[in-house]
Amino acid sequence: MTAAKERLSSGTRVLVIGLGRSGRSTLATLQQRQIHLTATDDHQPTLTAAASALTASDVSVAYASQIVEETPSYDLAILSPGVPQTSPIVQAMRRANIPIIGEIEAAALLTKASIVAITGTKGKSTTTALVGELFRTADCKTYVGGNIGNPLIAEAVKAEENAWLIAEVSSFQLETIVDFKPRISVLLNLSPDHLDRYHDEEEYYAAKFRIFSNQDTNDTFIANLDDPRVAALTENARTGPRCICRGFSRYPHRGAELFVDDESIIWQRDPQSRQRLIGIDELPLLGAHNVSNTLAALLVGLTAGLPVAPLIEGVRKFGGLAHRLSIIGEVNGVRYIDDSKATNPDSVIAALEAFNTPLVLIAGGRNKGTDFTALAGTIRRQTRAVVLLGESAAEIAANLREHPIQRAQSMEEAVELAASIARPGDTVLLSPGCASFDMFASAEARGDAFASAVSTRLRTRS
């Protein structure tokens, strides 16, 4: 039993830092275990809201600044991923020699299940959801959590002995792991991200590499061999994983055991056996990045020793996540696709490249400080026209120069304009490349507005 685990048993004093979704879920889980809990946050409204919700139970609430001033005496601190390592409260815990763990570490300590941990810069959520679907289809007891929505800790305590706990883990969450040891870890890809929190790319990658830092030869690391950084990691005995590596690739010649050849996914577990699993055209998820996500999820299933048939069935029936290239419907031969969760230009580029039909793109919103020049090139190449919406409309338009552009004031108008430009066989794609907060409450709300505008058209036409 590790030191941290002893500190999570009944009678101990635990401080939960950060009362976002993860922190609240941690409190709710630990409340049932006779642990003396203190909750803290440096955002006053959050704390007040939490305090009123928690008064009935055995949880004390304190301001972060208050705790920093007093001499803290806790057995353990559990840190939410949103709180940076540099914040005063974390520093105070360090000074007082109080061990700090993250929510996923706590989840790993409390669970009896085998853990599959999935990380990467892009595609984490889709892959995690797909892995969950595949394991459920293969009749495994499956619990899915982490960054994806429901906090991992709530799922972790529910999971029984033979179950699988499928966790989407972000680099923020990986920063605080100490003994977190997944049975299977997946690294989908690496590209610069969150540079507001990390000094440089290398520091961000180093956080990602922690996913396999505790894995040994009983565990497996699944690598995307198409990503040169990930591939190099699997042959580096110094910085790479010390566990078994297995690889997938969208090309047949990278030495991967699961790869795409002749438009089909092939599983070659040894030189003699070559098994065709499914055709690329049968995959319900669109786009090359989703082929990689599917390969990753399949290899997780194969590594867990699941039979091939349910894995293929699971891939076939997986509908994808809402607002990520989800098909809304077809009106007059024009397909409408909602990719509202594409809130940065890179995601829009990936979406645009997923289609080989002419496209009408609906884009725009609140710019998060990114540059649109790379996106403009792809838009000119892949789209018939663009309908622009929201605050960044002018900025995107400036980058597009001669390309046909329409401006819309509302989502209904945008769909109307897009429909008038599109010809039968075309696709209308909502992939904003910007945040939604200038016009909508969230990316989900924006996607829902798009879907309702499309369904209005559906009803009026039929």
Partner 1 sequence: MISTRSTTKRRRPSRVQRPRSAWVAAPPDAWLFGSVAALIGIGLIMIFSASSATAARDFHDATYYLKRQLIWLVVALAIGGAVFRMEYQRLRQIATPALIITFVLLAAVLIPHIGLATNGARRWLGTGSISIQPSEFAKLTLVLYFASALSQSGGRVRDLQRGMLPLTIIAGALALLVLKEPDMGTASLLIMTAATMLYVAGARLTHLFFFALCAIPPTALIVLGSAYKRARIFAFIDPWKDPENTGFHIVQSLLALGSGGIFGVGLGVSRQKFFWLPEPYTDFIFSILGEELGLIGELVVIALFIIFAYRAIRIALGAHDRFGFLLAIGCTSLILIQAFINIGVVTSSWPVTGVPLPFISFGGSSLVVNVAAVALLMNIGRKRRVA
End-to-end Cα distance, the chain: 65
Helix pair 124-137, 288-303: axis angle to 10 deg: 40
Please pick, among 122, 147, 323, 367, the residue that the annotation labels catalytic.
147
| Token reading at 316 | 């076939």
Of the pair 84, 228, the CB lying nearest partner 1 is at 228
Quick one: which of 357, 342, 392 has its CA closest to 371? Answer: 392
User: Which residues, in sequence order, are CB contacts of 115 under 8 Å at separation 6+?
Assistant: 108, 164, 165, 167, 180, 181, 182, 183, 184
Please pick, among 112, 150, 162, 194, the residue that the annotation labels catalytic.
194
Of the pair 224, 367, the CB lying nearest partner 1 is at 224
- Name the minimum Å distance from CB 227 to partner 1: 12
Listing DSSP states for 129-183 in one string gives HHHHHHHHHTT--EEEEETTSS-HHHHHHH--TT-EEEEE--HHHHHT-SS---S
Q: Is 218 a catalytic residue?
A: no
- Name the minimum Å distance from CB 237 to partner 1: 4
- Name the minimum Å distance from CB 267 to partner 1: 9
Of the pair 58, 216, the CB lying nearest partner 1 is at 216
- Name the minimum Å distance from CB 15 to partner 1: 36
Alpha-carbon separation of residue 77 from 4, 293, 384 (angstroms): 10, 34, 54
Exposure string for 252-291, b = 16+ CB within 10 A, e = fewer: eeeebbbbbeeeebbbeeeeeeeeebbeeeebebbbebbb
Alpha-carbon separation of residue 414 from 338, 352, 410, 427 (angstroms): 13, 18, 6, 14
Quick one: which of 394, 388, 395 has its CA closest to 362? Answer: 388
Of the pair 137, 176, the CB lying nearest partner 1 is at 137
- Name the minimum Å distance from CB 235 to partner 1: 4
Helix pair 288-303, 308-317: axis angle to 10 deg: 150
Rounded Cα distance, 281 and 265, in Å = 10
Q: Report the residue count for the chain.
A: 462
Q: Is 147 a catalytic residue?
A: yes
Rounded Cα distance, 86 and 138, in Å = 43
Of the pair 109, 138, the CB lying nearest partner 1 is at 138
Of the pair 41, 219, the CB lying nearest partner 1 is at 219
Interaction site with partner 1 (CB under 8 A): 183-184, 217-220, 228, 231, 233-238, 240-247, 253-257, 268-272, 302-305
Q: Is 141 a catalytic residue?
A: no
Of the pair 87, 268, the CB lying nearest partner 1 is at 268
- Name the minimum Å distance from CB 318 to partner 1: 23
Is 429 strand, coil or helix? Answer: strand
Q: What is the DSSP secondary structure assignment for residue 280, as one 8-state letter?
A: G
- Name the minimum Å distance from CB 138 to partner 1: 12
Q: What are the catalytic residues?
A: 124, 147, 194
